Structure 1
Amino acid sequence: MASKGRRAAEPGGPEEHWNETVLKEVSKEQIGFIAEGLFKELWARCGKEVAVDQVSLMIAEVQFSRGFDLLYKVHDNDAALTEFRKCLSIRESILGKDHRDTGKTYCFVGHALREKREYDDAVGQYRSALRILVALLGKDHNHTKDVISCIDDVLKAKGLPDNDVSDYLTTLLSSMEHKRNGDGFGEEGNFDMAVAEYKKALIIEVIPEAKYHPDTGEIYSKIGACLARQGELKRACVEYGNALSIFAVTLGSDHADTKEALKNIQNLPALMIR
């Protein structure tokens, strides 16, 4: 029985979420003393989903700061990587894969992997960051150049000759340009041209280490979507299958992109009988 003057937390309510979810990941000092009041106010005014998303982003900021300190002050690369990945999971889920904060987090996951000398995985994270920065800031922005420099350094640390590193970066940037062109044609409803550009974007596959990356999977998924819109459902199934295999390897079976690729394949039979 609740003591007098203190109301028991409502099951499934804001107090329970705060105590059982938020405070198990971060302390009041880390998230800020006013955060609880803001969270409960949002819950009351805007609903649970908005409140939970906003407090989750606050948690992600704490996780990012912890990761930064662990990486550069404590030099505990494994613990830093854990914090950055938790932060990334939240930001990807709420902000999306194209948000600048998500890109920043990809970059720091890459930094932690680089310190661990897991160079292939580090390049993969830098690629994800680069895609976002090129789209938002352009190839010539200093932040974009910094990520290009990180990829350059990691590839050289792997032992790639300068010419191979240069070819990798040129091919990667060209692939990104074709993908953006494909997106533009797709938005206009010009699916033939979109598919042509996406297929040019697959030039990245000439680099053996570059095929199995979520961005390559996304290109296949976009080709599949264009073909499905054109009624080319069997061809669409093949492309969705290519996307699914890449997402499953790089992201795991429980990731939203993997599940979406599987759902796209499962939905095709319904389209075929219309």
Structure 2
Amino acid sequence: NSFLSTTRSRSTALEFVLLNQKTDDVQKLIFEIEINPRLQTKAFADITQMSFFGKENEILIMLGALFRIKEIYENDKEGIWIARVSLASEDDYQLKEIFSYMKNRIDDDTDLDSLGKILIQMGQPEQAEKCYRRMLDESRLALARAESGLGIAYLDCRKDVESLKHLEEALHIRQSLLGQDHRDVGECYKYIGIVHWFLRNDYDQALFNLKKALEIQEAPVPSDFISLAEIYSNLAATYKRMKQYDLSLDYHNKALNIRQKHLPSNHPDIAGSYNNLGRLYESIGNYSAALEYYEKSLEITRKILPPTHEDVIRTENNICQLKKKLNE
């Protein structure tokens, strides 16, 4: 495609920009382009009469056109950024020289730093300040992701002190930048809860953190059901350690129901739920129910994993030991 597609209709442009969700990484932006037809510019054409979408009032502008930035500001009412630009004349050699100079100085990066530099050059330090403040926030969120990742890695290495240190640092950063009820905050609470029940046998702290995670995860509609199932599963594991088997069974079934509804039938998380239920029923002496769930778990894992995988071997061993108990 050798043309930039634009529209004469601001409402049409708004319809397109509102199709995209605003996130921490994506902002909504509309370019308001001014064209003086008397100037010798890159080719542009109104194709309303030829376009299949006639109501869009489409104007095509040839790629490679140079635009003079007049103003960039945030429209808080509409929740979008506005960039007011004008199509530059091909004879505007001064602008071309400035563009070449700025391109060499700023490089080809299209990040917040380059935008901030442009805004400073344009004499808009207030807008540049917004860019650099957001850049700082994004760098801190990246740090939080690194802290969280280290915490999870140390959890898998069974290093509880190191794991909690990094997870709590990630929690602090995310709370300060995202607020108390953000899902990423809930994720930190979930893993802190896992450290407490899995590595420290501190079930009170485990329940406190997992219930905080649950409160955050259950609030938005629609919920992230897969994350919700993970929290239910960890609450079930905690209650099993506390020998509160009825509560454990309730949460295991909640996790299984979500996974069966939202995941493929041979997903490993469903196999994990079946295995967890098998272990729970074995703990309370219901060996026939335990065997049933172990065999359901094994049926899935054999389809998706090699026979030497630890999950397959573990479930096979669980079934062998359980059958010995049934034959005693």
TM-score range, shorter chain: 0.3 to 0.5
What TM-score comes out, normalization by structure 2 length? 0.36
Q: Which has the larger radius of gyration?
A: 2
Structure 1 length normalisation: TM-score?
0.42
